[in-house]
Chains A and B, each alone.
Chain A
Amino acid sequence: MLSSFDPRINRLELPDAPSIPTDKVALDQFPTYEVFHQRKENAAYAYVGPVHAPEADVAFLFAKEQFSRRFPCTGMWVAPTSAIQVTPYGNDQESVYNLLPLLPVESATADATGQQAYDIFHLKKRGKAHAHVGQVSASSPEAALQAAKAAFGDQRPVVNVWVIRSADLLRSDDEDRDMWTTTPDKKYREAISYKVQDRIDRFKQEG
């Protein structure tokens, strides 16, 4: 048995050396979800990072823990990574819409059957985060991108675009907004609540 000076470790009764190497790859590789958060009321949702989860509801819980634990947040969306259509990346300062092949935009009066809502996200600068710019209605992700070009293509710069079928985004409910107000009673997590200078000054004076 592995022996430690730490009684908490000894109580785990860990083996001294593991016999068979663990290969957890096949068992545990969950799908990934991409997470968007809203920093304050009426701000655009912005990308914060991925989580690994077996399904969307669990992804949402993990995302809430990972990305809203420490800083203000008023809403969160998650989407399966596999559901996100990604354009090529352009250079900084450019618009990636200019690289798209010109296809006719579906006319707004076209038959509404088969039309779905898509959410559009722009990356303004490499290394920054994608931000939500709005919704379009289209019959396919490709058509949605063309519609996005028509609606938002005059914005500059646009280094990269993500297109997500709106139905694929799991969104926090406005009614549940009180679930985001967890930060005020946890002041011990704020750098600002540690005021140590007084103690140092007193120590120096007495010294």
Chain B
Amino acid sequence: MYGSASTHDIPAKATTGLENEDPILLAEFEARIARGEKIEPTDWMPQLYRKQLTRMIEQHAHSEIIGSLPEGTWITRAPGFRRKMAQMAKVQDEVGHAQLLYSAAETLGKTREQMLSDLVNGKSKYSNVFNYPTPTWADSNVISWLIDAGAIVNQLANAKGSYGPYCRALDRICAEEAFHLKYGHDAVVHMATGTPIQRKMMQEALNRWWPAIMTFFGPSDKMSTHTEILMRWKVKMATNDACRQQFLDMYVPKIWEIGLTLPDANLRKNEDGVWEFSEPDWEDFKRVINGDGPCNAERIAVRRAAEENGAWVRRAMQQPQARYVRPLA
């Protein structure tokens, strides 16, 4: 899901380090991207490109694996056998997405196990929306539909990026996401057009999730000094603001058409076709992404327990003579 090019955690004054790069190699690299050719793992690339892509793909992978937790916990309580099966299939897809993405990030030099270590030790970030709880089935449906919808906006953009292994992983991921989106939409429509109690439950879940959804694409890009260079290198394919606008344009009408409301009195499309909305609370966003949200500790603890409980299986399978090499592509 959730491939947010979350460059919002780049220190605003970080240097690009470009002055230390070989100017001829850098020119060839940029020319290749300008021609529309993809970069493959053995190609020369600037340090900043490697670093930003590693961080972005790694965060995307973590978001898939952590994002599977709030929906995963609803599998046994999903209403009806068919929904249990579908919810389980979706969760399995998301964990699979994490594996595809870890492998893509590995081609840049960081091992999967190092990434997983950094996740359970709280050193890495993942999509901030998963630091919020899913108290009801309707909350799980909001994730399935609207968080996945946001993720698809990001992923379709990123799939046109410049790094070959990330593009290959995203092509596969996007193909699988089509089911998630339809499944999520179906679940939300079912509740919203159902009994008054179902409808109320869905409206309340939407009210709870809307502020987090509005922060999903990250703060306005004006705040990052690297946006321009990352867009030239096709690491970042669309600004956070452009993604947010696209999302609102595609999904707000679909929310309204089933009689649901959104808890923002300023939300509307102006005559220029631009969506206006109340500015999200970015201070709160910062506080939560830095660890102080309702579910941060729980998400990491669950992930860590999974790692620890599975360690004996991996230990039993280990071959002493086996030698790790990073994947090729």
Binding site for B on A (CB under 8 A): 2, 4-6, 8-9, 12, 14-18, 21-25, 27-32, 34, 47-52, 54-55, 58, 65-66, 69-71, 81-82, 84, 86, 88-89, 91-92, 125-130, 160, 162, 186, 188-192, 194, 196, 199-200, 202-204, 207
Contacts known (A196-B182, A199-B193); A2 close to B297, Cβ less than 8 A: yes
Inter-chain CA distance A54–B317, complex, in Å, is 6
| Complex CA–CA separation, A44 to B244 (angstroms) | 40
Decide yes or no: A203 and B167 within 8 Å by CB, A4-B298, A6-B73, A27-B318 being known contacts.
no
CA distance A27 to B209 in the complex (A): 39
- Residues of chain A within 8 A (CB-CB) of B35 are 92
Which residues of A sit under 8 angstroms from B311, Cβ to Cβ? Answer: 24, 27-28
10 residue pairs, one from A and one from B, having the closest CB atoms: A127-B38, A50-B327, A126-B38, A194-B182, A191-B178, A54-B317, A203-B193, A191-B182, A194-B186, A14-B301
**B94 CB–A CB distance under 8 Å:** no
The distance in angstroms between the C-alpha atoms of A96 and B257, with both chains bound, is: 55
Q: Across the two chains, which residue of chain A brings its CB closest to B318?
A: A54
CA distance A186 to B89 in the complex (A): 9
- Contacts A5-B135, A6-B73, A32-B326; A49 near B100 (Cβ below 8 A): yes
Is the pair A203, B258 in contact by a Cβ cutoff of 8 Å? Answer: yes
Instruction: Indicate if the CB atoms of B307 and A24 lie closer than 8 Å.
Output: yes
Q: Are A54 and B172 in contact (CB under 8 A)?
A: no
Residues of A within 8 A of B175 (CB): 70-71
B324 touches A29 (CB 8 A): yes
- Which of A5, A6, A31, A192 is the most central at the interface, judged by chain B CB atoms within 10 Å of its CB? A6
Is residue B261 within 8 Å, beta carbon to beta carbon, of the partner chain? no
Whether the Cβ atoms of B317 and A27 lie closer than 8 Å is: no
Residues of chain B lying within 8 A (CB to CB) of residue A207: 259
When C-beta atoms are compared, the residue in chain B nearest to A188 turns out to be B86
From A25, which residue of chain B is reached at the shortest CB distance?
Answer: B113
With a cutoff of 8 Å between Cβ atoms, the chain B residues found around residue A5 in the complex are 133, 135
B42 within 8 A of A: yes
Which residue of chain B has the shortest Cβ distance to A193 in the bound complex?
A: B182
Q: Kindly state the separation between the CA atoms of A127 and B159 in the bound complex, as whole angstroms.
A: 10
B164 at interface, CB cutoff 8 A: yes
A85 shortest CB reach to chain B, Å: 11
Q: A25-B117, A127-B167, A191-B182 are contacts. A88–B38 as well, Cβ < 8 Å?
A: no
What residues of A have a CB within 8 angstroms of the CB of B18 in the complex?
Answer: none
- List, in ascending order, chain B residues with CB within 8 A of A30's CB: 314, 317-318, 322, 324
Cβ proximity bits B167-192 to A, threshold 8 Å, 1 near / 0 not: 11100100110110111011001101
Asked if A91 and B37 sit within 8 Å, CB to CB, the answer is: yes
Known A-B contacts A29-B112, A29-B324, A89-B43; A66 and B301 likewise in contact (beta carbons under 8 Å): no
Is B16 on the interface with A (CB-CB < 8 A)?
Answer: no
Q: Which of B271-327 contact A (CB under 8 A)?
A: 295, 297-298, 301-302, 304-305, 307-308, 311, 314-315, 317-319, 322-327
